[in-house]
Amino acid sequence: MSIQLSPLNDQQLNALASLAGGLNREQLLWINGYFQGLLAATATSQPAIVAAAPKSTKQLKILYGTHTGRSKTLAGKLASTLAGKGIEVATIALDEYKTRQLNAETNLVFIVSTHGEGEPPAMAEDFHSFITGKRAPQLSNLNYSVVALGDKSYKLFCKTGIDIDQSLARLGAKSILPILTLDVDFDEEADRWINEFTNVFADQPSVSSSAGIVQNTISVSSVYTRKNPFKATVIDKVRITGRTSDKEVYHVELSLEGSGITYEPGDSVGILANNPPQLVDAIIAHAGFDRTELVTIKEGTFQLKEALSEHLEITVLNREVIQKYQEKSGNEKLREIVANDQELDKYLYGHDVLDLIEDFSASLSAQDLADVLRGFPARLYSISSSQDAVGEEVHITVATVRYSNKGRNRGGACSTYLADRIEVDSQVSVFIEKNPAFKLPENEETPVILIGAGTGVAPFRSFLQHREANNQKGKTWLFFGERRFNSDFLYQLEWQKLLKDGYLEKIDVAFSRDQEEKIYVQNRLIERQKEVFEWLDNGANIYLCGDMKQMARDVQESLLRIFENQGGMTPEKALEYLKTLKKEKRFQLDVY
């Protein structure tokens, strides 16, 4: 029997012993501080010191604004690296940062994402409006850098970070490095930037901040990430819309057995899919390429067919792809579209890479095409299970994207992968995307109003499973909307059981196409406005999940009407109340 005295393996122990052997007292102290910093950066409890290296002469604060947690994780990574250089560093959420401290700051890094349609994440709203507004002070003593997280498929790519960067420059602050804008698949680029920034910052003459270092929390990162996903086995896949439905929604159960992956209600699963094979073949055939030709992309060198199937995005176009294609092809018709914002927007929706090469012919090589295309980003799905109920499983609820344009049937990459190309026992590459901004209240007695249309109901299945598994009987009220009662009532039997067992107090449903006039969840909210307001008055939290463009806006409009009618508020006060609810995290949204 062997007794393990140290969690390190022999190789690590030898490396440590040989390093420690030659160190003097001062060096040992420095290393002690370095490890303290690293340890704090992986702590889960609040508050935790991010980094405090001994003999530090430099200080820097990292202010982050996040919705789904990626900016926060990146802030933690930057903090650990800077700590390793003996820099005293703190990370602070933008909603906890006092803007009056700004003119006393000397070194700041902003890491901030963009959400909605070019909007700041809720936690960065106040800072964003302050820094872009008239009250922002001159900041000529400030050195700063901005890292902007975004997604190139959105029109206003990285807008929040860009706004902050431009405002700081206008206020006289000096940038340490130019703004870094990051598309969704950013790990390598971010790592390179962190190293560059750390070296540049460490080499700068030292200036210390008079505003004091505030300490904060950084979350632990899982071993399984976008870059290193877990291969989850499909346990079950069931279509949960009826045969007569014009929607095709699947409930998919995946096994996380042996992964050690944990998640919470409100988090999402990221799925790395492959592209529809018919589309891959049609692109190769139309362009007259050889499918075995080698192309080199970020991930390495692959045969064209594999690159198009696994690594490049072909079902969706974005501005950058069209611009690059136009530049490579020199196509004049496309130049006109690129120059006209409205025309470009119109073309982007409902067209894919096959359309692009069919509509705007060009003599490109396979490598040229690969250079134009974007890497294939993971798609996210709200988790519809609770680990307290299902253990080492994760469930999702997926609406298949199918449509027809110009006489050709098309499908979304990931949703058709899940619908058509996987079956029970297949393996799917997954990772968890934490969503700290969509969480059940800590107090299990807090009433919750859950508003979900279509697959927007997925996280509420997770919320209610969680309350049931933990016998939490805080009041819950679900508003669910879809097209038709007979074919589209997702998880109907489960809601009925939850009602019977007392974990769901009320359910209101809106089936838009079961009667002449369209009825949606926002109409049901208005019908129940007196009670909705009473629940809110009694401290209820509201959660909204589903379609960002239409439903989220209409539901918020209904809530404003309810505050006016039931709370006697003016339109301005109602808007303020809605903002306060968001700020206090009593109104949380997960819209897409």
Ligand X SMILES: Cc1cc2nc3c(=O)[nH]c(=O)nc-3n(C[C@H](O)[C@H](O)[C@H](O)COP(=O)(O)O)c2cc1C
Ligand Y SMILES: Cc1cc2nc3c(=O)[nH]c(=O)nc-3n(C[C@H](O)[C@H](O)[C@H](O)COP(=O)(O)OP(=O)(O)OC[C@H]3O[C@@H](n4cnc5c(N)ncnc54)[C@H](O)[C@@H]3O)c2cc1C
- Beta carbons of 521 and 545 less than 8 angstroms apart: no
Kindly tell me which of 74 and 173 has the beta carbon lying closer to ligand Y.
74
Q: Is 492 exposed, middle or buried (0-12, 13-18, 19+ CB in 10 A)?
A: middle
- Give the C-alpha separation, 335 to 322, whole Å: 9
Closest distance of CB 69 from ligand X, Å: 5
Residue nearest to ligand Y according to CB distances in the complex: 412
Write down the least CB distance from residue 229 to ligand X, Å.
17
CB nearer to ligand Y: pick between 389 and 414: 414
> Tokens 């067209």, residue?
351
- The site partner of 311 among ligand X, ligand Y, none (C-beta below 5 to 8 Å per kind) is none
Residue list 74-93, contact with ligand X (CB under 6 A):
none
Q: Please report how close the Cβ of residue 160 comes to ligand X at its closest, in angstroms.
A: 8
Rounded to whole angstroms, how far apart are CA atoms 99 and 435? 25
AA letter at 163: D
Cβ-based nearer residue to ligand X, 70 or 128? 70
Closer residue to ligand Y, CB minimum distance, 122 or 168: 122
d(CA 36, CA 519): 57
Give the pairing of strands 268-272 and 427-433: antiparallel
CB of 39 to ligand Y, least distance (A): 31
Q: Which residues, at least 6 apart from 341, have a Cβ–Cβ distance to it below 8 Å?
A: none
DSSP 23-80: --HHHHHHHHHHHHHHHHHT--SSS---B--TT---EEEEEEE-SSSHHHHHHHHHHH
Binding-site member from 68, 91, 106, 385 for ligand X (CB under 6 A): 68
Other C-beta atoms within 10 Å of 362: how many? 17
Tell me how many helices (H) and strands (E) the chain has: 22, 21
Of residues 107-166, those binding ligand X (CB under 6 A): 113-118, 121, 149-151, 154, 156-159
Q: Is 412 in the site for ligand Y (CB under 6 A)?
A: yes
Give whichever of 113 and 315 is closer to ligand X, judged by the CB atom: 113
| Closer residue to ligand Y in complex, CB, 86/456 | 456
Of 313 and 468, the one with the shorter C-beta distance to ligand Y is 313
Taking CB under 6 A as the rule, does residue 399 contact ligand Y? yes
Closest approach, Cβ 159 to ligand X, in A, equals 6
Residue span 365-384 as binding mask against ligand Y, x where in contact by CB under 6 A, dash where not: --------------xxxx--
Out of ligand Y, ligand X, none, which partner does residue 146 contact, by CB within 5 to 8 A per kind?
none
336 CB-near residues (< 8 Å, 6+ apart): 343
Using CB under 6 A as the binding rule, whether residue 113 contacts ligand Y is answered as no
The pattern of x and - marking residues 236 through 275 that bind ligand Y according to CB under 6 A reads: --------------------------------x-------
Site for ligand X in 34-63 (CB under 6 A): none
**What count of other Cβ atoms lies within 10 Å of the Cβ of residue 113?**
26
Copy the structure tokens of residue 495.
């809601």
Count of residues in the chain: 592
Whole-angstrom distance, CA of residue 211 vs CA of residue 591: 37
CB-nearest residue to ligand X: 150
What one-character DSSP code corresponds to residue 405? E
φ and ψ at 455, to 5 degrees? -70, -5
179 binding ligand X? (CB under 6 A) = no
| Contact call for residue 66 and ligand X (CB under 6 A) | yes
**Strands 294-297 and 230-239, how do they pair?**
unpaired
Query: Residue 381 binds which entry of ligand Y, ligand X, none, with Cβ cut-offs from 5 to 8 Å by kind?
Result: ligand Y
Size of the site for ligand X (CB under 6 A): 25
Out of 414, 422, 478, 510, the only residue in the binding site for ligand Y (CB under 6 A) is 414
Short-list 469, 426, 482, CA closest to 253:
426
Gap between the Cα atoms of 181 and 161, Å rounded: 8
Rounded Cα distance between 2 and 466, Å, is 41
Q: How many Å apart are CA 386 and CA 317, to the nearest integer?
A: 35
List 43, 294, 526, 591, residue binding ligand X (CB under 6 A): 591
Stretch near ligand Y under the rule CB under 6 A, chosen from 157-165, 412-420, 479-487, 507-515: 412-420
DSSP class of residue 456?
Answer: G
CA distance 84 to 201: 13
Give the one residue of 168, 316, 504, 521 binding ligand Y; rule: CB under 6 A.
Answer: 316
Q: Is the peptide bond before 47 cis (omega within 30 degrees of 0)?
A: yes
Q: How far is the CB of 548 from ligand Y (least distance, A)?
A: 9
Instruction: Indicate the residue among 157 and 438 with the shorter CB distance to ligand X.
Output: 157
Please measure the distance between the N-terminal and C-terminal CA atoms of the chain and give it in whole angstroms.
Answer: 55
Both tokens assigned to 317: 């176009």
Shorter beta-carbon distance to ligand Y: residue 316 or 449:
316
- Identified binder of ligand Y from the candidate list 349, 515, 516, 584, rule CB under 6 A: 349
Q: 33 vs 456, which CB is nearer to ligand X?
A: 456
Q: In the complex with ligand Y, which residue's Cβ is closer, 173 or 316?
A: 316
Q: Which of 70, 251, 466, 524 binds ligand X (CB under 6 A)?
A: 70
**Interface with ligand X, residue 592, by CB under 6 A:** yes
Residue linked to tokens 């208005």: 526
Choose among ligand Y, ligand X, none what residue 458 binds, the Cβ cut-off being 5 to 8 Å by kind: ligand Y
Q: What are the tokens at 232? A: 């989850």
397 binds ligand Y (CB under 6 A): yes
Q: φ, ψ for residue 547 (rounded to 5)? A: -60, 125
- Residue 91 or 400: the one with the smaller Cβ distance to ligand Y is 400
Q: Please state the closest distance from residue 78 (CB atom) to ligand X, in A.
A: 13
Which residues 535-554 are close enough to bind ligand X by CB under 6 A? Answer: 548
Residues lying near ligand Y in the complex (CB under 6 A) are found at 268, 315-316, 349-350, 379-382, 397-399, 401, 403, 405, 412-415, 455, 458, 590, 592
Residues lying near ligand X in the complex (CB under 6 A) are found at 66-71, 113-118, 121, 149-151, 154, 156-159, 184, 548, 591-592
